[in-house]
Amino acid sequence: MVYKSFSLGVGLRIFGIIISLYLGIWLYYSQDLWLAPAILGIIALIQIGEMIYYVNSINHKLARFLDSIRYADFSSSFTSDSKMGSSFREVNTSFNEVMDVFKQTRAEKEEQMLFLQVIIQHINTGIISFNDQGKIGVINNAAKHLLQIPQFRDITDLGKLSPKLLEDVMEMKPGQRISKKVNPSLHLIIQSTSLKMGGQSWTLLSLQNINAELQSNELEAWQNLTKVLRHEIMNSITPISSLVESLRTILDEDSYVQQEGFLIKRDGFMDMQEGLDTIANRSKGLVNFVNAYRDYTNIPAPKKVKIPVKQLFENVLNLMKEDLKSAEVKIETKIHPNDLDIHCDPDQITMILINLVKNASESLQNQADRTIWLSSIGQGDLGLMIQVEDCGPGIIPEALERIFVPFYSTKKTGSGIGLAISRQIMNLHNGSLQVTSIPNERTVFTMNFR
């Protein structure tokens, strides 16, 4: 409608200019008049000027409309000029409606930003954002309370709290998560995220103090450990104490004093011999238990080197070649990509893999399909994972929750320490060891390296 009105207005004005000029020329040459053509010429010039004003007015309004959008000034309004007639009334109405939409959109955006700022300031997790120059963009109250750094305006101010913390934060990659103990009361979990905003690159850090949770978990762990130690020690000490009392009774009842010493009955001697053997066995079991506990609590820090996963797998297969052959177990390996490397302590990771493969092999003793799948897959910035999979009887859901607990075992001859040590080693590698199992279908142990 606006376009048609505008075209009609321009067309009529051009037609009027042509008629005025044609009529003036005709009067001048045909009627030999000069005053009337002069008047008609002036009228034509006026019409030309009015048409130029008519056309430029919409351009001026459009330019003002675009400038309002460019500079986010939505306070402007557009009114119809009485000289322009009604042809631009719809244009002005449309401009005003668009400006109202922009006003409403900006108001909603400001409300959302205010709502987001309120949420950020009230969550318990610390939030900090900084750009490539280190300038702080957002820092919420939780982060200020955690860090206690006055005038925190640049990320380098983090060095006032801990230079090592600043170094670790600056070396973090997007998506990486680290654990850092800053002082006795502050143990931070920090996660990094990168984003683009306003043409700049920003890093967003989330910080959470887990010191209270760690202390609570540590207390619970000590309580559980005390229960385990008490249970195992009492299981050994109680029969030993009972046997000692029995042996004392045997000596009192079945021994006789002679001039050159003591005489003991044959039955009594046999009972004492059996009792001493039992005491020796129980004492040996207690010693083995203490040694297992010592092994669990004295795992050395990993000495990490870069090694091809293929070489790591070959080392494990060579070490277990004879055991797997005697058990008639076959291992299928898969590495993607083929040249995948891993940054780890080869000796410690080899020990984990041997333990996992051995467990899988033992679970396949009564299975028709005695195949173990050993695989590794690279995950880019997320690191890599190694999996040990078998199709044995699996692990019941109740046991899945406890197999990594020290001294818990589903095997009659197991010490219950192998998987606990394996998970501890993975923790020292800043990784994890997890298991999924569907009984009588498949069991998969997954080692994640970040």
pLDDT at 228 over 80: no
Most confident residue range from 70-79, 196-205, 302-311? 302-311
**pLDDT per position as a tens digit, 289-313:** 666 566 656 677 888 999 999 999 9
Mean pLDDT of 436-440: 89
The 3-state secondary structure of the chain reads CHHHHHHHHHHHHHHHHHHHHHHHHHHHHHCCCCHHHHHHHHHHHHHHHHHHHHHHHHHHHHHHHHHHHHCCCCCCCCCCCHHHCCCCHHHHHHHHHHHHHHHHHHHHHHHHHHHHHHHHHHCCCEEEEEECCCEEEEECHHHHHHHCCCCCCEHHHHHHCCHHHHHHHHCCCCCCEEEEEEECCEEEEEEEEEEEECCEEEEEEEEEECHHHHHHHHHHHHHHHHHHHHHHHHHHHHHHHHHHHHHHHHHHHHEEEECCEEEECHHHHHHHHHHHHHHHHHHHHHHHHHHHHHHHHCCCCCCCEEEEHHHHHHHHHHHCHHHHHHCCCEEEEEEECCCCEEEECHHHHHHHHHHHHHHHHHHCCCCCCCEEEEEEEECHHHCEEEEEEECCCCCCHHHHCCCCCCCCCCCCCCCCCHHHHHHHHHHHCCCEEEEEEECCCEEEEEEEEC
The second-level CATH assignment, the architecture, of 124-209 is 2-Layer Sandwich (3.30)
Range scoring the smallest mean pLDDT among 37-51, 131-145, 378-392? 37-51
pLDDT reported for residue 82: 46
pLDDT reported for residue 2: 42
Domains 124-209 and 305-449 are alike in CATH topology: no
pLDDT reported for residue 447: 94
**pLDDT per position as a tens digit, 343-375:** 998 888 988 898 899 888 988 888 888 899 999
- Residue 332 pLDDT level (bands cut at 50, 70, 90): very high
- Higher pLDDT: 30 or 233? It is 30
Q: For 305-449, give the CATH class.
A: alpha beta
- Residue 53 pLDDT level (bands cut at 50, 70, 90): confident
Mean pLDDT of 79-108: 65
- Residue 335 pLDDT level (bands cut at 50, 70, 90): very high
pLDDT at 83 over 50: no
pLDDT reported for residue 3: 44
**pLDDT per position as a tens digit, 3-16:** 455 566 667 778 77
Strands 330-336 and 371-378: parallel
Average pLDDT of the chain is 78
Q: Domain limits of the chain?
A: 2-109, 124-209, 214-297, 305-449
Does domain 214-297 match CATH 1.10.150?
no
Mean pLDDT of 117-123: 79
pLDDT reported for residue 232: 61
Range scoring the smallest mean pLDDT among 1-5, 54-58, 419-423? 1-5
pLDDT at 84 over 60: no
Q: Indicate the pTM of the whole model.
A: 0.45
